[in-house]
Structure 1
Amino acid sequence: MSAAPVDAELVASATELAERAGQVTLRWFSPRVLASGTKADGSPVTEADRAAEDFLRAELARRYPDDAVVGEEYGDSSGASGRRWVIDPIDGTRSFVRGVPLFATLLALIDESGPAVGVAHVPALHETVAAGRGRGALHDCGGDRRPARVSEVRRLDEACLVTSGIEYLPERGRRALMQPGPLVRTWGDGYGYVLVATGRAEIMLDAGLALWDVAPMLVIIPEAGGRITDYDGEPGPQEGDVVASNGHMHQPALGLLGSSV
């Protein structure tokens, strides 16, 4: 039996919070290279990351005090409700610090039935894709709000494949990019999934993800009509190597990765 649709109020609340947090990050964003620190894993962190996550944690604690929260910058906080909010204040920090406007604020809710709400807000481009389990996905582009739907492209040689960068991919992912067929573009990160969910790309190939990178996409991509799995075709990946598609191109994408599924 499929899980019940999520409360529409939760989708609206998450969307508002992600968009407000995105506005926090824009206080620091500039089309020039910014100074940043370095996390233990070698990835950059900025004052904007911390400020946006601080904002989201404070608002979530006020609105949903019994819910747990996990975020990229500050780890886990416990809750008694059985629900957990997942925060990535700036997905694509390397883009952010280099003045590239394709970074996103990601927010997700996971409840007892699994991924429930997902929001990806791209503040520098004024774009948001928000989805709730059983409620579809919406794309807001500068106030023009429409349903978010994947494309109907069914041929690999007509598809656009997006990735975040070759250096992140395992060998099978790198080999996939060398195969004839799709148009390949980079600078993906969270924005790559937005492109798939809104029909502007057909495949997003990603690797080495944490929960906060992928959690919103587990709602957004299916609710927009697409499919998201690991490289072997297993659904619902919460970390690791991930491929998202418009659905029609999923088997061809797995084929590029050498999967027999």
Structure 2
Amino acid sequence: MTSMTQALLDEAVALTRAAGELTLQWFHDEELGIEHKGDGTPVTAADRAAERFLREQLAARHPDDAVIGEEEPDSRGSSGRTWIIDPIDGTKAFTHGVPLYSNLLALYDHEGPAVGVINLPALGETVYAARGLGCFFDGRPARVSDRPTLDGGCVCTSGLGTWAPEHLEAVRASGALLRTWGDGYGFALVATGRAEAMLDPRVAIWDIAPMPVIISEAGGRFTTVEGDESLMLDGSVALSGVATNGRVHHEVLGLFDRSRLS
């Protein structure tokens, strides 16, 4: 089983990196067209091309696996395994030429999160993990920080538009540095010890699917804002994501009232 998991991890990393290389063809393209979906979020040819590439590769390699992605309808499977794709996490950053966007790929099986990849193609960084095998940052073992409190630490988020003023004040009062180094990049920072916490109060499953296995294998903790450690893959519930080094997790959850983050 370990060798099979390692093979799936290696495959997921290679495919996600290849998808990332594909998106770079459109990065900084002044003629890049931007459309808006029904929910108002942007989508580009790069998003669609990267997801199509990953779906084609997964269908060829694992035809019995299910696939969930942001840009195309779900594909059913019979194996009990599900791949989850976010072809570009941080499309707004991508369209503005900001290199903090990522490509996300995760694999879930009957035991839960099995494999997770955060690829940052414009930065040349990849953070990845598999259940029981550890977390890695470009081939080197990755670990969360050992800071015991938020005081002096770094808290990341994707944006401040959903934050209530009292929550911002609570972070400031904790002594933490708040930065919008968000989306998949923020979670990668936590997994590699460069930030203590990352909070995304409103997400879809593809935005956070790789994070539970990546953060836990790096020695940290991942939950929703309510502290729930399980994720629903069918999109039936609103999701949020909180990743920390584990030591500050209760302190982070204590700063927020979920009812004010909707």
- Normalised TM-score (structure 1): 0.91
**Equivalent runs, 1:209-248 vs 2, <5 Å:** 209-238=203-232, 240-248=239-247
Letter aligned with residue 42 of structure 2:
P
User: Could you give the per-residue CA deviations for residues 100-157 of structure 1, whole angstroms, max 9, x where no partner exists?
Assistant: 00000000001011111000000000000110011111101xxxx2101000111221
2:249 is the counterpart of 1:250: yes
Distance 1:171 1:90 in 2: 30
Aligned-pair CA distance for 1:31: 7.9
Distance 1:217 1:235 in 2: 11
Flag structure 2 segments of 5+ consecutive residues without an equivalent.
233-237
Q: Which residue of 2 aligns with 1:64?
A: 62
Partner secondary structure for residue 242 of structure 1: strand
1:118/1:163 Cα in 2 relative to 1: closer, same or farther (>3 Å)? same
Aligned-pair CA distance for 1:172: 7.0
**Equivalent runs, 1:126-137 vs 2, <5 Å:** 126-137=124-135
2:122 is the counterpart of 1:163: no
Aligned-pair CA distance for 1:179: 3.6
Distance 2:169 2:89 in 1: 25
Q: Which residue of 1 aligns with 2:6?
A: 8
2:152 is the counterpart of 1:154: no
Flag structure 1 segments of 5+ consecutive residues without an equivalent.
none
Aligned-pair CA distance for 1:7: 1.4
User: Could you give the per-residue CA deviations for residues 174-211 of structure 1, whole angstroms, max 9, x where no partner exists?
Assistant: 55445442001003111000000000000101121111
Q: Which residue of 2 aligns with 1:122?
A: 120
Q: Tell me the C-alpha RMSD between the 2 structures.
A: 1.9
1:248/1:74 Cα in 2 relative to 1: closer, same or farther (>3 Å)? same
Letter aligned with residue 77 of structure 1:
S
Instruction: State, as a whole percentage, how many aligned pairs show the same letter.
Output: 54
Aligned residues: 252
Partner secondary structure for residue 184 of structure 1: strand
Q: Which residue of 1 aligns with 2:105?
A: 107
Q: Which residue of 2 aligns with 1:89?
A: 87
- Normalised TM-score (structure 2): 0.91
Distance 1:47 1:240 in 2: 26
2:139 is the counterpart of 1:181: no
Aligned-pair CA distance for 1:34: 4.5
1:58/1:212 Cα in 2 relative to 1: closer, same or farther (>3 Å)? same
